[in-house]
Amino acid sequence: MTQFDLVIKNGTIVTADTAYQADVGVRGERIAVIGENLSGAREIDAAGMLVTPGAIDVHVHLQMPAGSDLVSADDFFTGTRAAAFGGTTTVIDFVEAEVDQLLMDALSARRAEADGRVVIDYGLHMTIAEADIAKLDQVPAVAQTGCASFKLYLAYEGFRLDDGQFVQALEAVRDVGGLPIVHAENGAVIRRLVERYRAEGRTDPRWHPLSRPPLMEGEAVGRAINLSMLAGVPLYIVHVSCADAVARVAAARAEGLPIYGETCPQYLLLTEALYERPGAEGALPVCSPPLRSEANRLRLWAALARGELQTVGTDHCPFTRAEKARGLDDFSRIPGGVPAIEARFPLLYAFGVRAGRISLSRWIELCCTTPAHLFGLERKGTIAVGYDADLVIFDPERKVRLSTETLHENVDWTPFEGTEVAGWPAVTISRGEVVVENGEFHGVAGRGRFVARAVTKM
Ligand code: MN
Ligand code: MN
């Protein structure tokens, strides 16, 4: 009888298509067989458990510079370790070049920060900011190095592209067969609203969502879609937060256009009412786009269920309470972002699958399979022979109360404080290695690898 290095026995394998009981045999770093009565050097009994692909988070900001003296609080070690605790085995982060820096030099520098630190596999998107429009001839080299997805912004001074620059960037990405991804909010209108509120002394966090209206997210999403059609390139829209934006994505997809939308746990589970909290508490959940109304929140769940949005990423970008408090007297100076890298996969199970909003297979499609497919993670995102043995043994009954006590993110608050979830990973496996088991970390800094990606032709 063939002996495997690792066998996961008696579990229910869940994929984007189906769920069935079988054993998974792993040899080395890959799934070698799916069958019955397998035996291995190590065997894990997964009776009563779900066996899922490792989850994939294509939108994270680890040790992200935010101004001259600020960097997001999770580094490539703590952030990927927290991801692994929550069942995520691949993340994609970002490269941002300095104004006078070559894109390839920025990519090398970013890889030097991540390699040696990551505990799971990772990829990088290349950012094309305003100053990078002069560097579009460097795009082919970047794509050939395995960063075939490019981040474009329609908001944030310094990053924001005007419509002409946006089309130029889209064409450059199209010409290398890459995938553009976009932060779509109307930056010019937001800037005007922020100036107005500041002039009026309206500086509390509650003015943050009012400075970034849902209508101006919808407008930017619609414009980005139109410009991508002009350029003849697919488009992935990050962090869709509201019904206005969903409507644009859904309408484009109904016409058969290659448009893809992502939302995030914070928009599915939290609302703008949090900005009304007194003192520093109201500043903590400041992120952009902002948390929205209850009606928008419910619309996003419906969009996931109906197939109008395609993925759930986190936009994980933690800053500490002290860092958030820097903007207490001016909401526009609060460093933006929330932590979510650890809890995303269990949150989508608890509030999606268990709550009856999405099916088991849809959960896997949103968190694993579609992200892998869109972003060219060829051997990840499903459970099949020849794929990387990135696997989660998920205990559907394990209850966890989310808090800074139970989570491993390197930050002193969580927007999900006190939330009870039912369902949590018992074991997380990355390329055949157990990296987390029953709440204990067994990984090693630097064991994760950079994954070079071409993107799938869509
Ligand atoms: Mn963004
Ligand atoms: Mn982001």
Do residue 46 and residue 82 come from a single domain?
no
Q: Which of 347, 352, 221, 241 is nearest to 294 (CA)?
A: 241
Indicate the number of domains in the chain: 2
Distance from the alpha carbon of residue 34 to the mean position of ligand 1, in angstroms: 39
Question: What does the pLDDT look like over 388-409, one tens digit per residue?
Answer: 999 999 999 999 999 999 999 9
Do the domain assignments include residue 453? no
Residues 175, 125, single domain; the answer is: yes
Among all bound ligands, the one having the nearest atom to the CA of 183 is 1
Q: Looking at residue 23, which CATH number applies to its domain? A: 2.30.40.10
Q: In terms of domains, do 429 and 342 share one?
A: no
Q: Cα(5) to centroid of ligand 2, in Å?
A: 38
Residues 48 and 70 in one domain: no
Q: Which ligand is nearest to the CA of 185?
A: 1
Ligand 2 (single-atom ion) residues, CB below 5 Å: 315
Count of C-beta atoms within a 10 Å radius of residue 158:
10
CA of 16 relative to ligand 2 center, distance in Å: 26
Predicted TM-score of the model (pTM) = 0.98
Q: How far is the CA of 1 from the centre of ligand 1 (A)?
A: 52
Q: What is the tens place of the pLDDT at every residue in 34-68?
A: 999 999 999 999 999 999 999 999 999 999 999 88
Report CA(39)–ligand 2 centroid distance (Å): 43
Shared domain for 84 and 211, answered yes or no, is yes
pLDDT value at residue 24 = 98
Model confidence pLDDT, tens digit, residues 3-45: 899 999 999 999 999 999 999 999 999 999 999 999 999 999 9
pLDDT per residue as tens digits for the range 351-380: 999 999 999 999 999 999 999 999 999 999
Is 210 a member of any domain?
A: yes
Print the SS3 string covering 6-28: EEEEEEEEECCCCEEEEEEEEEC
Q: What is the mean pLDDT of residues 429-447?
A: 98
Pairing of strands 30-35, 420-430: unpaired
151-206 per-position pLDDT tens digit: 999 999 999 999 999 999 999 999 999 999 999 999 999 999 999 999 999 999 99
The Å distance, Cα 451 to ligand 1 centre, comes to 23
CA of 315 to the centre of ligand 2 (A): 5
Report DSSP state, residue 71. Answer: B
Structural domain includes residue 446: no
- Asked if pLDDT for residue 1 goes beyond 80, the answer is no
* CA 198 to centroid of ligand 1, rounded, Å: 22
Residue 89 shares a structural domain with residue 202: yes
Statement: residue 142 has pLDDT above 90: yes
What pLDDT was estimated at residue 393? 99
Closest ligand by atom to 338 CA: 2
Ligand nearest to the CA of 125: 2
pLDDT of 275 > 60? The answer is yes
Ligand 2 mean position, distance from CA 110 (Å) = 16
Query: Do 46 and 105 lie in a common domain?
Result: no
Give me the pLDDT at residue 48, please.
98
When pLDDT is averaged across residues 68-78 and rounded to a whole number, the result is 96
Torsion-angle region of 28 (φ positive above 0: left; ψ -120 to 50: alpha; else: beta): left
Backbone φ and ψ for 85, nearest 5 degrees, come out as -60, -35
- Nearest of 13, 10, 91 to residue 52 by alpha carbon: 13
Q: What is the CATH number of the domain that holds 65?
A: 3.20.20.140
Query: How far away, in angstroms, is 337 Cα from ligand 1 center?
Result: 9
- From 343, 374, 405, the end of a domain falls on 374
% residues pLDDT > 70 (the chain): 99
Asked whether residue 245 is assigned to any structural domain, the reply reads: yes
- Residue 16 inside a domain? The answer is yes
- Taking the alpha carbons of 21, 24, 30, 32 in that order, is the dihedral positive or negative? negative
| Ligand 2 centroid to residue 59 C-alpha, Å | 6
191-196-199 Cα angle (round to 5): 125
In a shared domain, residues 108 and 160: yes
Range of the domain at 110: 55-374
Flag whether pLDDT at 119 surpasses 70: yes
- Quickly state the pLDDT bin for 279 (edges 50, 70, 90): confident
Is 308 among the domain residues? yes
Same domain, residue pair 270 and 411: no
Asked if residue 168 and residue 29 are part of one domain, the reply reads: no
**What confidence score (pLDDT) does residue 409 get?**
98
Note whether 387 and 54 are within 8 A (CB).
no
Nearest ligand to the CA of 290 is 1
252 and 346, same structural domain? yes
Q: CA 38, CA 274: separation in Å to the nearest integer? A: 51
Mean local confidence (pLDDT), 306-334: 96
- CA 441 to centroid of ligand 1, rounded, Å: 30
Ligand 1 centroid–CA 262 distance in Å is 11
Q: How far is the CA of 432 from the centre of ligand 2 (A)?
A: 30
Q: Which ligand is nearest to the CA of 288?
A: 1
Rounded to an integer, what distance in angstroms lies between the CA atom of residue 63 and that of residue 411? 12
Say how many Å lie between the CA of residue 252 and the centre of ligand 1: 21
The answer to whether residues 29 and 432 touch, using CB atoms and an 8 Å cutoff, is yes
Predicted confidence at residue 3, as pLDDT, reads 87
Mean pLDDT over each residue of the chain, to the nearest integer: 97
Report CA(316)–ligand 1 centroid distance (Å).
10
State mean pLDDT over 211-217: 98
The strand pairing partners of 215, in sequence order, are: none
Residue 130 lies in a domain: yes
pLDDT of residue 458: 58
Q: Are 115 and 147 within one domain?
A: yes
How confident is residue 457, by pLDDT bands cut at 50, 70 and 90? low
In a domain, 73, yes or no: yes
Looking at residue 456, what is its pLDDT? 65
